[in-house]
Amino acid sequence: MTKPFLPLTNEAFRDLFERDPQKAVAYIHSALQAGESEAGRQATQMLVYLHKDLIRYVVSAKTPKDLVDEVADGAITEAVNAVLKNPPELANLKQFRGWLSQIAARYTAGVTRDGREQSRRDSETLDYEPADGRKSHEPSAEDERYDAIGDREIFEAQLELLSEEHRAIILLRLIGDNSSKRVVEILSSQYGWDYSANNVDQITRRFRGECDKAAEEQ
């Protein structure tokens, strides 16, 4: 006979996570399988908050030190909203951390783009010319990097074809704008994945090639 599902309070779920993180994920599975979607969402949101240090780590890789806390708070809110809209199907804790890192990297990249665009507009309004002599309307190297991603629909479609690990690499490298060496450090310290900078470069080149091929076929 199947045992009835017993919902946990946030405090009880936190204690469970601290004792055995994988059992905390199993609890979320049990909630969803029992049709207790609200309990599952609530626990997943708590899981987001319990990983705030991971979010802060991902954010800090591409955010000025004095803005890390503010951007990290925004990334946490983004992740919580994602849970409310469409809770992720979690096979294990590693998959959850990968999902969460992707959201944090995307959010941080968006803040970076928005900030750069606002700075460009302010410069044009003030007829300001940067110290390096480049006209304010000329695209920076980072602007060109985002342009190089190309059609967003193609990018996202190709992203869905990748494995969990390769998807994390592409998001950290292209969206998070981390160097290959930095990607290797994040993969090793946060997930225990063993990749070299050369591996990251090869995966990135192959992904770009697939995007270009898909664009040509349209």
Span 42-62, pLDDT tens digits = 999 999 999 888 888 888 877
Quick one: 121 and 159 in the same domain? no
Out of 113-117, 134-138, 162-166, 178-182, least confident range: 134-138
Q: What is the pLDDT of residue 176?
A: 66
The owner of tokens 């940067």 is 130
CB contact at 8 A, 186 and 58: yes
Number of DSSP helices (H) and strands (E) in the chain, helices first: 11, 0
Task: State percent of the chain over pLDDT 70.
Answer: 78
DSSP code of 188? Answer: I
- Tens digits of residue pLDDT in 162-215: 887 888 888 888 766 778 998 898 888 767 889 999 999 999 999 988 888 888
Quick one: 215 and 156 in the same domain? yes
Residue 95 CB neighbour total at 10 angstroms: 14
Task: Tell me the longest C-alpha to C-alpha distance in the chain.
Answer: 75
Quick one: 107 and 155 in the same domain? no
CB contact at 8 A, 5 and 30: yes
d(CA 90, CA 32): 11
In a domain, 72, yes or no: yes
Question: Which domain does 218 fall in, by range?
Answer: 146-218
Quick one: 115 and 193 in the same domain? no
Quick one: 69 and 168 in the same domain? no
Please tell me the total count of domains within the chain. 2
pTM over the 0.75 mark:
no
Final residue belonging to a domain, choices 60, 95, 129 = 129
